[in-house]
Amino acid sequence: MPEGGLNPKAVSTDGGPRIGVYVCHCGLNIAGKVDVKAVVEFAASLPHVTVARDYKFMCSDPGQELIQQDLRDGLVNRVVVASCSPLMHEATFRRATAAGGESPSHVQMASIREHVSWVTADGDDATEKAKALVAGAVRRVALHEVLEPRQSPVRPDVMVVGGGIAGIHAALTLADAGKHVYLVERETTIGGHMAKFDKTFPTLDCAACILTPKMSAVRTHPNITLWTYSDVVSVEGYAGDFRVRVRHRPRYVREDLCTGCLACIDACVHKQGKFEDEWNEGLSKRKPIYIPFPQATPPVVVVDREACIWFKTGKCPRTCVDACERDAFDFEQTETFDEVEVGAIILATGYRTFDASRMPEYGYGLYPNVYTSLEVERLLNAAGPTNGEIVLRDGSRPRTVGIIHCVGSRDAKHNLWCSKVCCMYSLKLAHMVKERIGAEVYNFYIDMRTPGKGYEEFYDKVLREGVHMVRGRVAGVTDEAASPEEEGHLVIRAEDTLIGSVRRIPVDMVILAVGIEPQPDAQEVRRLFNVSCGSEGFFTERHPKLAPVSTFTDGIFLAGACQGPKDIPDSVAQAGAAAAEALAMIDRGHVTLESSTAFIDDAACSGCKTCVGLCPFGAIAFDEDRKKAAVNEVVCKGCGICVGACPSGAAQQHLFTDAQILSEIEGVLEYV
């Protein structure tokens, strides 16, 4: 090739290409539509093809063995597998080829299942299209260069973002394995939603009893650096070597000095709470200086700058300061930053509950006695606003309670998905209400979903306790009485699909079983960590079955409800899995780098700088002395933006060179 038009490494080390084409039946998934035999015969007629075979399941051991045997026999030195999507099995066949003694980069896949047999109505059309894709792969693989997998070392530390039960469990698992963990939580305490619950289904063991020990374990663990009231502001680098910048917001109280004695709160010039207590869902008031709940971790008070008189007027005796024996106050505190280098990151950023006011027909915010499930969790909580007393806002006890399921979930107008936990926690709430105050409880449900160990049994138990179950979507909640007995009550209107009639049931308290939603800032977080998420906003796992806690960005893993609705057992299990993935990566000691990186032919580079500014990752450096640009292939993520722009073709991309892609274009058009 004159003047190095192609990647010099393009020619296989042992002379011309000898291509083997392996067409997979995938049982009947492919063979049921595509004439596999015809594709094999066609493939055998293509240039450089020395072997063409078909087989039931190429991804199976015997299937891979076919390839390896041909490689070992020297029949082929390049491999085309026509089967499923490369996103599914490219890695598999690269491994197989490497095991057969050939460069793993000498593989190309043709997706004749996802792109052909599964989407094409007519068999002949499917066969023709399969041939075209195979021809493209054959033309392309002939030019594939030899690429030895490149590796870079992995830093031993890990960052966990989010201090809910998932983040806590992941952090402890890693710390116990001897890895140093940075746990970042944006609230003033870890614990997340679970810390707000009183009991957990179906075992009804107390949330605090099982959670708080883990919380304090986090605080005291020598391998864990806990950063609360903090958030991640930037992430740079790549798998094995992330540089993360964390911002710490000021508490105006020194964490290292405060002992959590809470004397300052009593001493505050505000004699009692005056500001909405977020932790209690606004059901109680707190002072400008406060601690969310007694077992908050760390047990450090925080000053609400917006509420504090000192900050607002500069005139305040600051009785709090006098009350502090440790001189922990520091009203001069400002934001501070830390930058840490970690090998892996686990995202456990959790969820938010559906905003019930988006469904005005249920009267939330309109009628004081309509509550969300989370509010009721706080009411039931001994550490909550009513010390566990179930009382309405007017202090009275409800005699009848209606629990409406699927609020915001399984609803075309709001969220299509099932939030998974609502049925179970609604049953839990029904049980606890009945147990605590003996009220009549009505559950309005669409379907009762109780999959899980001991779940169905719990449902039976609650039924036996005499909780009423009404099957049907609730039309609305109103205080307009249609009959004397409805006077002074809230009326729930619902179609009972079991008896086939519309019912009006007067109750004193309505509990809305709000569903699970992605965090409001899920999109920003996704971009910050360069992971993807579905249209609804839950982070996307690399593969729903085979890689449920990995993301498309190496070194970043998912735990808990940020990936999708989960209950506590699932969250903890997934957190363990994420920790294990991170451990595996760290203990391997290295990561295999992106193979399709860009590179610049030094002799061909004119120094026009077109590419330099285009790189989103700053992977291209310009040498002012030599007037040449060069790619740092460790930093390069292999998008090829620079290659598409390079006006003189000096920049190329491994496995996506111009010549390879142009050959594939010609291949898919040349023959059929």
Partner 1 sequence: MSETDRPFEPRIVAFFCTWCTYTAADLAGISRMQYAPNVRAIRLMCSGRVDPQFVLAAFRDGADGVLIGGCHPGDCHYQEGNVNALRRFELLRRMLRDFGIEEGRVRLEWISAAEGDKVQRVCNEMTERVRALGPLRLEPGPRRRVGVGVVPVGAAEAAAGPAAGEASEPVGVLETEGREAR
Partner 2 sequence: MTKPKVAFYWCASCGGCEEAVVDLAEDVLAVVDAVDIAFWPVALDFKVSDVEALADGELAASFVNGAIRTSEQREMAELLRRKSAVVVAFGACAWLGGIPGLANLSSRESILEFVYRGSPSTSDGDGVRPQEETDVPEGRLRLPHFDETVRTLDQVVDVDYYLPGCPPPVDLIRSAVTALVEGRLPEKGSVLAPDVALCAECPRAQTKPTDLKVTQFRRPHEVIADPETCLLAQGLVCLGPATRSGCGAPCTAANMPCTGCMGPTSRVIDYGAKALSAIASLVAPSDEEAVGEAVDRLVDPVGTFYRYSLPASLLHRRVERDAAGSRGGGQGWARRS
Task: Identify residues 595-654 at the interface with partner 2 (CB under 8 A).
Answer: 601, 603-610, 612-614, 622, 624, 627, 644-650
For residue 374, which phi and psi values (nearest 5 degrees)?
Answer: -70, -35
What count of other Cβ atoms lies within 10 Å of the Cβ of residue 10?
A: 17
CB of 23 to partner 1, least distance (A): 11
Count the alpha carbons within 13 Å of 375 in the hemisphere toward its beta carbon.
26
Cβ contact 522:538 at 8 Å: yes
Nearer to partner 1, 391 or 659 (CB): 659
CB of 95 to partner 1, least distance (A): 19
612 binds, among partner 1, partner 2, none (CB under 5 to 8 A by kind): partner 2
CA distance 369 to 491: 11
Options 275, 367, 552, 622; binder of partner 1; rule CB under 8 A: 552
Nearer to partner 1, 89 or 179 (CB): 89
For residue 379, which phi and psi values (nearest 5 degrees)?
Answer: -60, -40
Among 14-22, 222-230, 481-489, 567-575, which window interacts with partner 1 (CB under 8 A)?
14-22
Tokens matching residue 495:
């179609």
| 284-303 residues near partner 1, rule: CB under 8 A | none
Options 79, 80, 126, 346; binder of partner 1; rule CB under 8 A: 126
CA distance 421 to 433: 18
CB of 186 to partner 1, least distance (A): 23
String of contacts with partner 1 for each residue 83-122, x by CB under 8 A = --xxxx----------------------x-xxxx-xxxxx
Give the contacts of 409 (CB within 8 A, at least 6 positions apart): 354, 415, 417, 418, 419, 422, 515, 516
Cβ contact 596:104 at 8 Å: no
- Based on the shown chain and the rule CB under 8 A, indicate whether residue 423 belongs to the binding site for partner 2: no
CA distance 602 to 366: 70
- Based on the shown chain and the rule CB under 8 A, indicate whether residue 3 belongs to the binding site for partner 2: yes
CB of 133 to partner 2, least distance (A): 18
CA distance 447 to 454: 18
What count of other Cβ atoms lies within 10 Å of the Cβ of residue 320?
A: 27
CB of 448 to partner 1, least distance (A): 28
Cβ contact 7:657 at 8 Å: yes
CB of 138 to partner 2, least distance (A): 17
Residues that bind partner 2 (rule: CB under 8 A) add up to a total of: 29
115 binds, among partner 1, partner 2, none (CB under 5 to 8 A by kind): partner 1
- Based on the shown chain and the rule CB under 8 A, indicate whether residue 9 belongs to the binding site for partner 2: no
Nearer to partner 2, 2 or 395 (CB): 2
Nearer to partner 1, 377 or 541 (CB): 541
Best CA proximity match to 152, nearest among 633, 557, 580: 633
Question: 254: burial class by Cβ within 10 Å (0-12, 13-18, 19+)?
Answer: middle
| 22-61 residues near partner 1, rule: CB under 8 A | 37, 40-41, 44-56
| 175-234 residues near partner 1, rule: CB under 8 A | none
Nearer to partner 2, 548 or 649 (CB): 649
CA distance 168 to 494: 41
Residue ranges that bind partner 2, judged by CB under 8 A? 2-5, 601, 603-610, 612-614, 622, 624, 627, 644-650, 658, 662, 670
